[in-house]
Amino acid sequence: MPSTRAEISYRSWGLALCATGALLSATAAGAANRGGLPEAQRIYQQDRAACISGETNQDRATCLREAGAALQEARRRGLDDGDAEFERNRLLRCDRQPPEDRPDCVRRMNGEGFTSGSVEGGGIYRELVVPVVPRERN
């Protein structure tokens, strides 16, 4: 019995998806064998397994495409966990301080001294006690 146009289209789409998945796997495996990004590869394999098992809220094709795109971006060093931005913002707070107070501010931002509070609670309080040697009077 001849296949309908819709069945042929569906089969073609399914074959294309399988070929794309195989290509992504082969490419990722090749990068891992070359000593590429083992952590990114491990995450990709976990994401891919979740896609295939249906554990995500996405359809399988979209999930696999996103997992592959994340791996590709990691290879290009395009993924950032935000630490660099956090570090830059953390020290920018000290730029508004008078020049003589900036070193102490940087020390507080680096974790020296006493810290209390939380963002959820309305703010973080950082205190650093620095002994000051009195100057002699004339």
Among 72, 17, 18, smallest CA distance to 43 is for 72
Residue with tokens 């819709």: 6
User: CA-to-CA distance for 1 and 82, rounded, in angstroms?
Assistant: 57
Do 99 and 71 lie in one domain? The reply is no
Q: What is the pLDDT of residues 79-128, one digit of tens each?
A: 666 677 777 787 888 888 999 999 999 999 888 998 898 878 888 888 99
**DSSP-assigned letters across all residues of 53-77:** HT-SSS-HHHHHHHHHHHHHHHHTT
Do 59 and 92 lie in one domain? The reply is no
* Domain around 106: 83-127
Q: What is the pLDDT of residues 41-60, one digit of tens each?
A: 888 999 999 999 988 888 99
For residue 11, pLDDT over 80 is answered with no
Percent helix, percent strand, percent coil in the chain, to nearest 5: 60, 5, 35
Do 11 and 62 lie in one domain? The reply is yes
pLDDT value at residue 23: 43
Among 68, 73, 75, smallest CA distance to 34 is for 75
Task: Share the mean pLDDT of the chain.
Answer: 75
Do 87 and 114 lie in one domain? The reply is yes
User: CA-to-CA distance for 45 and 30, rounded, in angstroms?
Assistant: 13
